[in-house]
Structure 1
């Protein structure tokens, strides 16, 4: 079983998100994401939180794909050409 957790902090016009994925073997991966509000835009903090969280999850997703590609290469002794959709 894997556990995922997203934490968000806000400071002024910036939202920062951290997405953590903990695996069954005790290891973890961390993705980072930020969002900044344009001063000309309406102040809606929830939108910044959503963008920062999406970016953190995207970062985590890329890391997980890289790890999977590495593990495949280690087990098959062949290079992985493409894992991205």
Structure 2
């Protein structure tokens, strides 16, 4: 079976007071998911905005990827697939959530 789809992704970056936040929005046409990521520059570190952007975006992508896996397993369960693997459960410290 052949299948073609176009999904739209938007990435927003916000920086204020040595904190960078990323919001990654995915629109599949049938579902919308939003990933969030945060990076903070400690006072003793040199402020390099590009590093904050990279870390915040990477964390938002990780968050979105986890949501996508959960959605896929949820879609598979009615077809008799096993329940959600333990590895897809959120774990403490995966993201700096002090925002």
TM-score, normalised with respect to structure 2? 0.75
Unaligned ranges ≥5, structure 1: none
Counterpart secondary structure, 1:41: coil
TM-score by length of 1: 0.87
In structure 2, list runs of 5 or more residues that go unmatched: 1-5, 88-99
Q: Deviations over 1:19-73 (max 9, x none)?
A: 1110122x21000000000111111111001100000010000000000001000
Measured in 2, the distance between the counterparts of 1:37 and 1:53 equals 15
Partner of 1:59: 63
- Give the total of aligned pairs: 81
Which structure shows the higher strand fraction? Answer: 1
Which residue in 2 is equivalent to 1:77?
A: 80
